[in-house]
A and B are shown apart, each in its own frame.
Chain A
Amino acid sequence: MNQLPHGIPLARLLAPLMAVLAASTALTGCKGGREAGSIGVYSARHYNTDKALYRRFTEQTGIRVNLLEGKDNALIERLSREGSTSPADVLVLVDAARIGKASQQGLFQPVRSAALERDVPAHLRDPGGRWYGLTRRVRLIVLNPAKINAAIPVRTYADLADPRLKGQLCLRNSLSVYNQSLVADQLIQHGPASTATWVKGMVANLGQSLFSSDIPLVRAVARGDCGVALVNSYYVARMRSGDAGAEDQQLTAGLRVILPDPAHVNISGAGVTRHARNPRAATRLIEFLASPSGGRGYAEANHEYPLRGFGENSVLKSFGPFRDDGVSIQAMGERNQEAIRLMQQNGWQ
């Protein structure tokens, strides 16, 4: 008796299930074999516009891109566990600390490329050629002019510790890797003692508990719940441009956007993986993404800055130019743990 009394034959239950599983695997191009002209890309960037760019690369070169997007740490872990069996040829990560971590774990292989050395400024790539920056983002200051007395100067990161801003400052928490890299950047420029004083000063100025994301933070400043805050350039640009809706566009129109002088610049970057099976094609992809034409596509659609200059994005242009503080991304990655400890010891949780 293969049929249950209530009329569900097991086979009938299982058949559609197997069919769907088979169909879903077939649909995804989940192929066992590897084409000669294809590369695997693990990417921590996840913007639809990236995919269009990979398609353009395939059209130009005939090299197929297999894509897996994920979170930085998970991708790093996966790549290191997979070791020499990994199907990934290129690893794309966001933020100095994570790139530094992957580099320290030996996940990249050195690549020499005249094109990359020409297109990527020296402080935005690894001296050993293991990874190269692709786009830039700036940790900038947004300020509500109605809330902050114009007589208080807010031009640098250090100004945010000014006691006259007491109760006006809002920040994201220290889990934000962008904040960690900012603190590492300040550590490199000003040393531990003065960075600790700066962090303490900012914590004393906090008007609200720490935020866990950027857009609510920008809104809080725009609505006057906070006077001033530190956020990433592309979030403000996205809101200003109308990409995040007309309401946010209006709301942020009155905000003052301050590019600190000098500005802390962070990157998204990529390297050829240590066990890449197709390192030449992998290098070509990175060259394509770093080139002024390819890089524009990577940066502009997400309101990021290209590797050189300020790009053609009209919102970013309206923020004006900035002076890159020139701190090397590699050095920031190395100081990440120290930065986290310093933040936590001084009340930036």
Chain B
Amino acid sequence: MTSSGPAPGSVTLPRASAPPRRSLLVLLVLLVAALALAPLVALIGFSGLLSHPLQARLGSAGGEQLANTLLLLIGVGLAGAVLGTTNGWLTASCHFPGRRWLRIAQLLPLATPTYLLAATAIDLGSRFSWRLHGPGWAALVLTLGTYSYVFLLSTESFAVSGRRHLEACRSLGVGPWGSFLRVALPMALPAIGAGVALSGMEVVNELGAVELLGVPTLSGGILQRWQNDGDPQGAAALALIALLIVSLLVAAERLLRRRSRRWSVGGGGDIPPRWQLAGWRALLAQLLTLLPPLLSLGLPLVWALISRDQLQSESFGELAGLALRSLGLGLGGAALTLAGGLLLAVARRWLPDPALQRLTFIAGMGYAVPGAVLALALMLVGSPLQLPPLLLLVWGYGDRFLAVSKQGLDAALERLPPSIDEAATGLGCGWLAVLRRVHLPLLRGPLLVGALLVFVDVVKELPLTFALRPFDFDTLSVRVYQYASDERVGAALIPALLILALGLAAALALVPSLERGEPRPPTS
């Protein structure tokens, strides 16, 4: 960095702390990375993989699990990218009746736990002699459960960045399709890539739904080998393959982002109105945006409707306790994870050292490890230290979801031209001051989106919560899973609807900021 003194004759500017304290940033990055990586290192050490690498075998079962995981990745990735981007564009840049509500509704699928979706779908099917079974159904359920990642990140990009470019399109006579394909889509590619990468990691990690649908995948194989076969080396070998897949996903996303690097400072000023859709086009837009939330909310609701006699509720006090614990964990997890993610994302911008760059990249790898395995890893680290279970649990959330918060922030930071930082540092700001006075205000949208994603993820998170929570500390998702795994869908439904309600409340709280800088209503 060039920290030259004020040029002769220049205006004297207020200066933050004189030498920018990057050593603090390096220290913080090392701390976050150490926390994130400690369980993974413990895991590799425990597996004995390093001392007996030859004992690890993929085996025929491993081959099938790998093939299924790849199949799901491709299917869900493609379907999610198309659905998420389409709905992101439609609700951000077009106008049709019901758009506002349908935009919020896109978040519903995110708050529906996939295992509940799978359980209700299978249960409903079995009443009509439909066997819901196999990779096709699994891909459908997972697409429904994860396309919102793509939607959220892309729509934020469509809504905030590059409106000016669209205005240029209009003045040059480029229509809605042209403006989408030639301008908005390329600009949103980093965000779409980030969303697809996130949903891909979720797929690699998925356990409950795929098991219910009878699709053996890597994450199930890892647990099976470790816990049932007593073969930690084999488990670690599979886990490393999962890790490799996720690294490839993230690397591909980065490459995509680098190739489409364009900067925009974001909204502000007079924003042009949306494309007005009418007739069959409006209808199609409504259908496309309605169908996924309708399915993910509708399946449990239809189930509830035709099995009213089975709905069982716990006492209000019990439900309130469950909800409050979920809420507390969600908020705590989101705050912690976001702080860590922001730190790593910012560090990538300030610290050009390749080793540190790589470290910020690897630190997000906790997301690639199936939750149940991460839980075991955390026990390896936490038990000797006698850490309280709640602390271990929040550590787990941070580790698991660091990538979720970081991914969106990385993409958003890359849209900010470096000239901003240069200007700020030229005015004497250190990284902390730039963060506080420049980056944070500009990153408000992505930060809130990240917070929402992590919040919802934590509230519906299962394996970590299940394995690490203290005595008498059930949460909504724990209760849902306990009932669902015992095939008591009727009792699982009310806590599941509360998860949805929490997710929706968080989403609604976000709306004002997502819709900030709304274009003026179209004049018709």
Residue ranges of A at the interface with B (Cβ–Cβ < 8 Å): 1, 4-6, 8, 14, 16-17, 20-21, 23-25, 27-30, 40, 46-48, 66-71, 73-74, 76-78, 81-83, 85, 87, 173, 175, 208-216, 219-220, 223, 225, 235, 244-247, 337, 340, 344, 349
Contact = CB atoms under 8 A, between A and B. Distances in A.
A311 to B, nearest CB: 20
A27 to B, nearest CB: 6
A245 B126 contact: no
A282 B187 CA distance: 63
A105 to B, nearest CB: 10
Given A6-B441, A219-B126, A20 B229 contact: no
B129 interface: yes
B355 to A, nearest CB: 31
5 contacts: A71-B485, A78-B467, A215-B123, A244-B488, A340-B228
Contact of A247 (B127, B211, B212, B376): B127
Nearest to A218: B126
Interface string B320-338: 0100110111011001000
A223 B126 CA distance: 9
Interface in B106-150: 122-123, 125-127, 129, 131, 133-134
A74 B467 contact: yes
B486 A85 contact: no
Interface in B342-362: none
Interface in B42-62: 61
Nearest to A234: B486
Nearest to A41: B471
B375 interface: yes
A210 B213 CA distance: 10
Given A29-B472, A67-B471, A23 B324 contact: yes
A30 B466 contact: no
Nearest to B214: A212
A210 B468 CA distance: 32
B3 interface: no
Interface stretch (B91-99, B248-256, B379-387, B402-410): B379-387
Contact of A78 (B310, B379, B386): B379
Contacts of B467: 70-71, 74, 77-78
A208 B131 contact: yes
Contacts of A47: 486
Nearest to B379: A81
Contacts of B379: 77-78, 81-82
Contacts of A173: 214
A308 B503 CA distance: 48
5 nearest A-B residue pairs (beta carbon)? A24-B328, A216-B126, A66-B471, A81-B379, A81-B383
A21 B328 contact: yes
Interface of B: 61, 122-123, 125-127, 129, 131, 133-134, 211-214, 216, 223-224, 227-230, 306-307, 309-310, 314, 321, 324-325, 327-329, 331-332, 335, 372, 375-376, 379-380, 383, 386, 390, 436-437, 440-441, 444, 463, 466-474, 482-483, 485-488, 490-491
A20 B327 contact: yes
A67 B472 contact: yes
Nearest to B122: A216
A30 B469 CA distance: 10
B127 to A, nearest CB: 7
Contact of B383 (A16, A21, A85, A208): A85
Contacts of B223: 73
Contacts of A73: 223, 227-228
Contacts of B134: 209
Contact of A66 (B123, B125, B325, B472): B472
Contacts of A244: 310, 488, 490
A245 B491 CA distance: 12
A214 B122 CA distance: 11
B42 to A, nearest CB: 11
Contact of B466 (A29, A71, A81): A71
B212 A24 contact: no
A53 to B, nearest CB: 16
A68 B474 CA distance: 8
Contacts of A209: 131, 133-134, 214
A276 to B, nearest CB: 15
A207 to B, nearest CB: 11
A245 B372 contact: no
B474 A21 contact: no
Contacts of B327: 20, 24
Contact of A17 (B306, B332, B463): B332
Contacts of B466: 70-71, 74
Q: Which of A1, A30, A66 is packed against the most chain B CB atoms within 10 Å?
A: A30
Given A74-B466, A212-B211, A214-B487, A28 B126 contact: no
A24 B329 contact: yes
A215 B126 contact: yes
A51 to B, nearest CB: 10
Contacts of B437: 1
Contact of B490 (A208, A216, A245, A337): A245
Contacts of A16: 331
Contact of B474 (A69, A78, A83): A69
Nearest to B486: A46
A67 B306 CA distance: 34
Given A74-B372, A246-B309, A235 B487 contact: yes
A175 B224 contact: yes
B212 A68 contact: no
A69 B482 contact: yes
Given A77-B467, A81-B383, A85-B386, 15 more contacts: A6-B441, A16-B331, A17-B332, A24-B328, A30-B472, A66-B472, A77-B379, A209-B134, A209-B214, A212-B212, A212-B213, A216-B122, A219-B127, A223-B129, A340-B228
A27 B331 contact: no
B441 A4 contact: yes
B9 to A, nearest CB: 28
Nearest to A251: B127
Contact of B441 (A5, A24, A67): A5
Nearest to A217: B126
B335 A14 contact: yes
Nearest to A46: B482
Contact of A220 (B129, B390, B440, B473): B129
Contacts of A24: 324-325, 327-329
A220 B224 CA distance: 28
A344 B221 CA distance: 14
Contacts of A74: 372, 375, 463, 466-467
Contact of A30 (B127, B310, B436, B473): B473
Contacts of B488: 244
Nearest to B466: A70
B328 A25 contact: yes
A7 to B, nearest CB: 10
A67 B212 CA distance: 27
Contacts of B314: 48
